[in-house]
A = this chain, B = another copy of it.
Amino acid sequence: MLADQHLLRIPGPSPIPPSVQRAMNQTMIGHRGKETKELMQRIKPRLKPVFGTEQDVLIVSGSGTAGLETAVVNTVKPGDEVLVIVTGAFGDRFVKICEAYGVTVQRYDVEWGAAFDPAYIKAYLQDHPTIKAVFATYCETSTGILNPIQELCKAVHEQSNALVIVDGVSCVGGVETEVDAWGIDLLVTGSQKAMMLPAGLTFITVSEKAWKVIENNEQARFYLDLRKYRKSLSEDSTPFTPALSLLFGLDQVLNLFEEEGLQAVYNRHELMKNMTRSAFKAMEIPLLTADDVSSPTVTAIKPADFAAEDLRKVIKREFNLSVAGGQQHLQGEIFRIGHMGYCSPADVLQIIGIMEIGIKKIGKNIELGQGMRAAQEVYLQQEVLA
């Protein structure tokens, strides 16, 4: 096997574009000097369209989980009652963080592989007016679901004063996200998925309504105190030493978004999703999620007549292609392909070409080229529509 080639197609961390890698290699600068201030000034306005917001997007140095914890410690306190929508492993993480802080959690568990129902939440809030915040996952990485966040916001805001707090880690940057128009009170995302960077930054937007809660929240916090980040960002700075090389990279990521165009970025992800799904449908291998609620960034496949882990092993061994397995009770039941960030329709063709070989090798009698043809047809069809 070709040494030094790694085809990284897990649902994040995702591959880094070469120009971003080069940008991150730039010489280190002082984090309190003029150059860093100018860097922040370049980044600040250009992050907003990615989140669909006029608010400043706060940047905390830390992984996605640091972002989720930031969301919790700034908005709720021990004894508060919240609703956490659990559609997979990352909804579960919100529960764990809330519980670690003594917050009273009501869970709304949805079968893994399905999306939540905003109507259910509206009804729930009607019966439970004490709920202070609703925590939801936009793209549930563990299943490939894209939950209906816009409809959730509408349902919650019509019914209650609860904040809508959203984990957008595995999709923001790859799917349309309209924080202001939809009314997301707090959105968190990470750098290592559709944002095309290594892990290490988390991005947070906060609505005016959420700021009022945050300003008055008595929960103890220091590093993750969003008030500090807001104040510093208003001065084009950061409260603590920033992960500078990642900010160098972010500056270049924003260049790439602007070069391609954000709408084109979203269209590309939609196309990659459709190509991937069509290929497996053509091979008659079941998908975990339904078409209308599947994420443009990750696809979960639930084979009926072969072991997901056998396939993962053979494609890793022969092509060094990494895709993810299942988490928790879906371990061994599914495999997940990440098609996000620095990933193109050309890369999806490569993944499918390899998958067909792998599936054949582990003994399933598919017709080679059939999945490929379906993906190619989707590509050609999309061109006709465009």
Contact = CB atoms under 8 A, between A and B. Distances in A.
Interface in A348-386: 349-350, 352-354, 356-357, 360-361, 367-373, 375-377, 379-380, 383
Contacts of A264: 1
Given A357-B376, A372-B368, A346 B268 contact: no
Contact of A353 (B352, B361, B368, B370): B352
Interface string A275-303: 00000000000000000000000000000
Contact of A357 (B25, B360, B380): B380
22 contacts: A1-B260, A2-B260, A3-B256, A5-B344, A5-B346, A25-B25, A319-B344, A319-B345, A319-B346, A321-B346, A349-B350, A349-B353, A349-B354, A353-B372, A356-B376, A357-B380, A368-B373, A368-B376, A369-B369, A369-B371, A369-B373, A372-B373
Contact of A350 (B20, B347, B357, B379): B347
Interface of A: 1-5, 7, 17-20, 25, 256-257, 259-260, 264, 268, 319-321, 342-347, 349-350, 352-354, 356-357, 360-361, 367-373, 375-377, 379-380, 383
A17 B4 contact: yes
A371 B368 CA distance: 10
A71 B371 CA distance: 51
A376 B380 contact: no
A224 B364 CA distance: 59
A372 B282 CA distance: 15
A98 to B, nearest CB: 38
Contacts of A373: 367-369, 372
Contacts of A268: 1-2
Q: Which 4 residue pairs across A and B have the least CB separation, nearest first?
A: A369-B373, A349-B353, A369-B369, A350-B350
